[in-house]
């Protein structure tokens, strides 16, 4: 019984993944395509750098027992900013995207180190 439920779940998720990949591949939007299972794999290096530091920042917020509401708000902000950085890279503003990726985390690190 359990193995048949697992097989059904695998087939459903596989078909959903194929539909998403086909839809994204056929559209010419600014949102990166889905490469395999990772949406962020097609991001430019500035957006990947920012996303990596954003993930580490979220881990830090969880470790210091920050409120879950604040972590959710920061997560949404980080994701939106990563997509904005990708849009800037695709528009040809790579240098500005790098500045926009580095400055927020530099300020966060300075504030965190100074208050500790």
Q: Residue 100 contacts by C-beta under 8 Å, 6 or more apart in sequence?
A: 46, 50, 81, 84, 85, 88
Is the model's pLDDT at 27 over the cut of 80? no
Does the pTM surpass 0.75? The reply is no
Q: Name the residue with higher pLDDT: 14 or 60.
A: 60
Q: Residue 77 contacts by C-beta under 8 Å, 6 or more apart in sequence?
A: none
Is the model's pLDDT at 32 over the cut of 60? no
Name the band, by pLDDT with cuts 50, 70 and 90, for residue 115: low
Average pLDDT, the chain: 75
């Amino acid at each position: 019984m359990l193995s048949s439920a697992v097989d059904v779940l695998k087939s459903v998720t596989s078909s959903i993944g194929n539909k998403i990949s086909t839809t994204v591949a056929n559209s010419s939007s600014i949102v990166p395509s889905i490469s395999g299972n990772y949406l962020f794999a097609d991001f430019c290096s500035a957006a990947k750098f920012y996303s990596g530091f954003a993930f580490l920042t979220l881990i830090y917020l969880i470790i210091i027992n920050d409120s879950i509401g604040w972590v959710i708000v920061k997560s949404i902000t980080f994701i939106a900013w990563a997509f904005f950085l990708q849009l800037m890279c695709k528009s040809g503003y790579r240098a500005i995207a790098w500045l926009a990726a580095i400055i927020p985390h530099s300020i966060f690190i300075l504030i965190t180190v100074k208050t500790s």
